[in-house]
Amino acid sequence: MRLCVVVFMGLWLPFLAWAGHLPIPEQGPALRLQGSNTIGAALGPALVRGLMEDQGLLRVSSEITGRDNEQRIVGLTADGRRVEVDIAAHGSSTGFAALKQASADLAASSRPIKDSERKELSSLGDLKSPTAEQVIAIDGLAIILHPQNPLRQLDTVQLARIFSGEAKIWEAVGGVGGPIHLYARDEQSGTYDTFKELVLGRHGKRLDPTARRFESSEQLSDAVSQDPQGIGFIGLPYVRQAKALAIADGDSQPMLPLNHLIATEDYPLSRRLFFYLPPWETNPWATALVEFTQSDKGQAIVAANGFIAQTVQAMAVTPNALMPEGYQALSRHAQRLTVNFRFEEGSASLDNKAHQDLSRVLDYIKQHGKTDRRVTLVGFGDAKDDPARADLLSKLRAMAVRRELVKYGVTLREVRGFGALMPVAANSEDEGRIRNRRVEVWVY
C-alpha cells in the first residue's frame, strides 16, 4: 500500500492506492455519467456495476435518488468505504450540456456529437478524436406496432409521411385500421434525434405535434403495444410486447431489426451508441469505464442488455437471386464476419469505429488461424454516373482495409469491389451514401 496524490475532478486529493485499483475520492461520486436514456436506463448502470465488481468492490447495488431517470450505483471497498457513481438519463443532449457545465465526467449519447456541441466543448479537447468518441454498442431503431396490426413492412418515405401527419390513416400506407396514433420520444432524446435525422429530416418533414411524447422508452413501447392504431419508434431492447416492422430505404431490401443486420449496420435504422470521454479533463473512473466497456466482459454486458455487442463472429449468408453471381459464389464457400468497415464523411480514411474494429477483426483472424489467404475483403460504394468508377472506388476502399491488415501479418485471399450493387440505404443524400460505402470481411 502506498500514499499517492492525483488530480481528481479538478482537485488534488490524497488516496490509498493498490495495484490495479482506481482512486476513491474522499467525498462525492467517483464518476458522474449523464446523457442518453437509451444507455442510461439499464445499459449504463449494468456497465458501471460490472466495472465496480471488476475492481473488487463488494455489495454493488443501485439506489433510487428520488428523481426520475436518475440512479446511484454504490459499492463498498474491503475496508468498508463507500464508492458512488451517479447516473442521469435525460437525453443525449443533456450529456453534452453537463460536460460543458462540468457536472458530468462522461457523456452517454445515442447519436454522434453535433458540430455545434463539438465546438462548444473544444476546451475539453477534440471530442471527435478516436480516444474521445467511443462506440460502445450498436442499436437499431425499431418501428413498432400493436402485435395484432397485420402490416409487415414500410419504407422510410412512408415513415416520414406517417410521423409528419401527412398519412393520417393506415389505409394510406397499405394497412388497415383507420386513424394512425403516433408515439415518439421527447425532444432531449438521442433516439428522437436519430429518427429525425434518418427519417424525418431526410425527407424535409417535421414530427406531427399531435404525437404523444415520452421520456421513458419502456413507457412508450408499452403504450404502443396496447393501442391497435398506434405506431412508434424505439431502441431495440425496448420492443417488449410490441411488433417490429421490416424497413426498406431507397433500393434496399426490407429488413427486420435482426441482430446480424444491425451488427453490420446494414439495417436502415441502425445506429451507434457512444461514450464521449473528454481528452483533457479525464476522470480515471471515466477512462476505466470506457476501457471496461470495450473489453470482452463489457461487450457481454452490452449483449445481455439487449443491444448488439461489437464482438466479431462469423455468420453464414444464404445466397439469393438478387445478389450478383460473384457474391452468391462467395456466400456458398465462405462466411461473413459481423462487422463492416466504414469511412469518414468525404474521406478514404477509416472512421473511429473502424479503427476500434480493426483490433477485433485481427484478433478473430489470428485466433481462428485465418492469417494466410483465408480472408476476402469486399467493397461497396454509392452510385456514380460511371459504373466503372463506382466499381473502382469500391475496390479501393477494400484496399484501404487490406493495407491495415497487412501491417499485422495477414495475407489476403482476394480483394473485390461490387460498386453500387446491393445498396443498404438510399443514395439520394449523404447519410445513405456513407452507409453504402462499406467493406465486408469474409473468411474461409
Mean pLDDT of the chain: 91
Structural domains in the chain (count)? 3
Taking only the tens place, the pLDDT of each residue in 312-346 is 999 999 999 989 999 999 999 999 999 999 988 76
Question: What secondary structure letter does DSSP report for 123?
Answer: G
Same domain, 68 and 103: yes
Q: Please report how many Cα atoms fall inside a 13 Å half-sphere around the Cα of residue 292, on the Cβ side.
A: 20
pLDDT: is 426 or 409 the higher one?
409
Same domain, 129 and 149: no
Is position 268 within any domain? no
Model pLDDT, residue 200: 95
Q: Is 35 helix (H, G, I), strand (E, B) or coil?
A: strand
Task: Name the band, by pLDDT with cuts 50, 70 and 90, for residue 103.
Answer: very high
Task: Name the band, by pLDDT with cuts 50, 70 and 90, for residue 236.
Answer: confident
Burial class (CB in 10 A: 0-12, 13-18, 19+), 202: buried
Same domain, 395 and 340: yes
**Does position 5 have pLDDT exceeding 50, yes or no?**
no
Residue 339 vs residues 50, 179, 215, 265: alpha-carbon distances, Å: 25, 40, 31, 8
User: Percent helix, strand, coil in the chain (nearest 5)?
Assistant: 35, 25, 40
Is position 145 within any domain? yes
Taking only the tens place, the pLDDT of each residue in 105-114 is 999 999 999 9
**Does position 124 have pLDDT exceeding 50, yes or no?**
yes
**Does position 168 have pLDDT exceeding 50, yes or no?**
yes
Same domain, 231 and 214: yes
* DSSP state letters, 305-340: TTSB-----EE-----TTS-HHHHHHHHH-EEEEEE
Rg (CA), the chain: 23
Domain that holds residue 236: 139-263
CATH code where residue 398 lies: 3.30.1330.60
Number of neighbouring beta carbons within 10 Å of residue 245: 20
Model pLDDT, residue 16: 35
Same domain, 342 and 439: yes
Same domain, 197 and 251: yes
Is position 323 within any domain? yes
Same domain, 111 and 38: yes
Same domain, 175 and 206: yes
Taking only the tens place, the pLDDT of each residue in 388-418 is 888 999 999 999 999 999 999 999 999 999 9
pLDDT: is 20 or 170 the higher one?
170
Taking only the tens place, the pLDDT of each residue in 271-305 is 999 999 999 878 999 999 999 999 999 999 999 99
**Does position 205 have pLDDT exceeding 90, yes or no?**
yes
- The H or E element that residue 47 is part of is helix 43-54
As beta bridge partners, residue 143 has: 233
**Does position 138 have pLDDT exceeding 80, yes or no?**
yes
Give the separation between CA 290 and CA 354, rounded to whole angstroms.
17
Model pLDDT, residue 3: 33
Taking only the tens place, the pLDDT of each residue in 44-87 is 999 999 999 999 999 999 998 989 999 999 999 999 999 999 99
Is position 83 within any domain? yes
- Residue 86: φ, ψ to 5°: -100, 135
Q: Please report how many Cα atoms fall inside a 13 Å half-sphere around the Cα of residue 238, on the Cβ side.
A: 28
Taking only the tens place, the pLDDT of each residue in 27-44 is 899 999 999 998 999 999
Task: Name the band, by pLDDT with cuts 50, 70 and 90, for residue 226.
Answer: very high
Is position 269 within any domain? no
Burial class (CB in 10 A: 0-12, 13-18, 19+), 286: buried
Is position 291 within any domain? yes
Model pLDDT, residue 58: 96
Is position 370 within any domain? yes
**Does position 385 have pLDDT exceeding 80, yes or no?**
no
Burial class (CB in 10 A: 0-12, 13-18, 19+), 317: middle
**Does position 20 have pLDDT exceeding 60, yes or no?**
no
Model pLDDT, residue 12: 29
**Does position 92 have pLDDT exceeding 50, yes or no?**
yes
Q: Copy the grid coordinates of residue 432.
A: 445513405
Portion of the chain with pLDDT greater than 90, in percent: 81
Q: Answer whether 0.85 is exceeded by the pTM.
A: no
* DSSP state letters, 80-94: --EEEEEEE-S-HHH
Tell me the average pLDDT across 260-269.
Answer: 94
Model pLDDT, residue 19: 28
Q: Is 363 helix (H, G, I), strand (E, B) or coil?
A: helix
Domain boundary among 304, 324, 358: 304
CATH code where residue 170 lies: 3.40.190.10
